[in-house]
């Protein structure tokens, strides 16, 4: 669920995902699992209107800090624990879930499939965001989500699934910036194992 929350509106491919060409988006997430609370920070990088995209997630677990790097490239989603040198990759063609939702191009079929309903406009991080309610089933579990979207970018989200909740909110947006090319490259020294998508 962690990766799902942080890249809720990310997808592979070269289609126009976002209404601005490039940005660095910093976010904080609070995840609650069985009464335990986990705070997570993340930074989303994208260029070419979302044609290139990666995310860095930082969390503390039992006093240790972990950095998880995710990258969507050449039809695969890569996720790596940098400190452990281990990672997974998923063929995006095998994925059929809400992460494929393009909020700039919501079709009637997508709205029906994920029960997406527009629910007003609200301010998040100084931006006027369209608020969407979503509900769908995955792996026998129902997921309910509220997403606040500006220029196709999720600036805030709330999700609940099987007793786990996650709330993510943007703290800073840097628009129209030049992104370091290394942010869109597969990190070296990582052993990637291909797996099937779990969501």
Sketch the domain layout of the chain as residue ranges: 2-194
Q: Is residue 187 classed exposed, middle or buried when 0-12, 13-18 and 19+ CB atoms within 10 A define those classes?
A: middle
Please give the pLDDT value at position 147: 94
CB-CB contact of 98 with 154 (8 Å):
no
pLDDT in tens, the chain (199 residues): 444 444 444 433 346 889 999 999 999 999 898 878 889 999 999 999 988 899 999 888 777 788 899 998 888 889 998 888 889 998 877 765 545 678 988 889 889 988 999 999 999 999 999 999 999 887 778 889 999 999 999 999 999 988 889 999 999 999 999 999 999 999 888 989 998 765 4
Please give the pLDDT value at position 3: 46
Give the C-alpha separation, 49 to 194, whole Å.
Answer: 27
For residues 1, 95, 157 and 22, what is the CA-based torsion angle, rounded to 10 degrees? 120
Please give the pLDDT value at position 98: 47
Give the C-alpha separation, 130 to 6, whole Å.
Answer: 18
Please give the pLDDT value at position 199: 47
Q: What is the 3-state secondary structure (H, E, C) of the chain?
A: CHHHHHCCCCCCCCCCCCCCCCEEEEEEEEEEECCEEEEEEEEEEEEHHHCEEEEEEEEEECCEEEEEEEEEECCEEEEEECCCCEEEEEEHHHCCCHHHCCCCCCCHHHHHHCCCEEEEEEEECCEEEEEEEEEEEECCEEEEEEEEEECCEEEEEEEEECCEEEEEEEEEEEECCCCCHHHHCCCCCCEEEECCCCC
- Bridge partner residues of 38 (DSSP): 31
Please give the pLDDT value at position 13: 37
Please give the pLDDT value at position 99: 53
Please give the pLDDT value at position 83: 81
CATH class of the region 2-194: mainly beta
């Amino acid at each position: 669920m962690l990766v799902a929350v942080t890249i809720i509106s990310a997808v592979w491919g070269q289609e126009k995902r976002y209404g601005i060409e490039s940005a660095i988006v910093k976010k904080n997430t609070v995840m609650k699992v069985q009464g335990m609370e986990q705070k997570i920070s993340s930074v989303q990088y994208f260029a070419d209107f979302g044609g290139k995209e990666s995310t860095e997630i930082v969390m503390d677990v039992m006093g240790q800090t972990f950095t998880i790097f995710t990258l969507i490239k050449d039809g695969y989603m890569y996720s790596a624990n940098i400190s452990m040198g281990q990672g997974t990759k998923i063929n995006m063609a095998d994925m059929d879930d809400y992460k494929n939702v393009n909020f700039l191009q919501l079709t009637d079929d997508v709205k029906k499939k994920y029960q997406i309903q527009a629910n007003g406009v609200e301010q998040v991080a100084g931006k006027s965001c369209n608020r969407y309610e979503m509900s769908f089933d995955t792996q026998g579990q129902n997921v309910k989500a509220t997403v606040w979207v500006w220029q196709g970018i999720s600036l805030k989200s709330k999700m609940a699934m099987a007793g786990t909740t996650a709330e993510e909110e943007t703290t800073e947006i840097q628009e129209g910036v030049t992104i370091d090319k290394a942010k869109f490259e597969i990190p070296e020294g990582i052993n990637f194992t291909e797996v099937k998508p779990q969501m």
